[in-house]
C-alpha cells in the first residue's frame, strides 16, 4: 500500500513537470506594492498571462489601452486578471488608477 502511494506521488510529480515545460499554464505576474513583478516580460505567441493581486488591501487594474482594450475592471487582493496574447508585438499596459501617481506601468513582448 505504501509503495503504491509513493509511486503515485512520483507519477504526479512527473505529470506536473511535464505540464510546466509544455507552457500551457498561465504565466504569473505578481502585483505588490504598486508594482508589476516583473514589469517587462517576453512570452511566446499563444501564452496566457495572469496578473495576481498580492496586496493587503489595494485594488489595481491591468489596461492595454494602446491595444484598444476596453477600460479594465479593478481587481482586489487574491483576485486576478488574465489576457491571452495571440499576436506577436510589444504591448504596453497600465494600472489605470495608479499610472500617473505611482508610475504603475508594464510591457508584454510577444515573440513567435
Q: Is 52 in the site for Cu ion (CB under 5 A)?
A: no
Distance CA 31, CA 108 (A): 15
How many residues bind Cu ion, per CB under 5 A? 4
108 binds Cu ion (CB under 5 A): no
Is residue 98 a contact residue for Cu ion (CB under 5 A)? yes
Q: Using the rule CB under 5 A, is 60 a contact of Cu ion?
A: yes
**Closest separation between CB of residue 23 and Cu ion, Å?**
28
What is the rounded distance in angstroms from the CA atom of residue 22 to the CA atom of residue 12? Answer: 15
Q: Which CB contacts under 8 angstroms, 24+ apart, belong to 14-21? A: none
Q: Pick from 104, 106, 108, 110 the residue near Cu ion by CB under 5 A.
A: 104
Residue with cell 489605470: 96
Beta strand 27-32 with 47-53: parallel, antiparallel or unpaired?
A: parallel
Residues within the interface to Cu ion (CB under 5 A) = 60, 95, 98, 104
Amino acid at each position: 500500500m505504501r509503495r503504491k502511494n509513493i509511486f503515485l506521488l512520483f507519477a504526479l510529480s512527473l505529470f506536473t513537470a511535464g505540464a510546466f515545460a509544455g507552457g500551457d499554464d498561465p504565466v504569473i505576474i505578481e502585483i505588490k506594492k504598486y508594482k508589476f513583478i516583473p514589469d517587462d516580460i517576453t512570452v511566446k505567441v499563444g501564452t496566457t498571462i495572469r496578473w495576481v493581486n498580492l496586496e493587503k488591501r489595494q485594488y489595481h487594474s491591468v489596461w492595454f489601452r494602446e491595444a484598444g482594450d476596453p477600460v479594465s475592471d479593478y481587481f482586489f487582493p487574491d483576485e486576478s486578471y488574465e489576457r491571452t496574447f495571440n499576436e506577436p508585438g510589444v504591448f504596453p499596459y497600465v494600472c489605470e488608477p495608479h499610472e500617473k501617481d505611482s508610475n504603475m506601468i508594464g510591457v508584454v513582448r510577444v515573440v513567435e
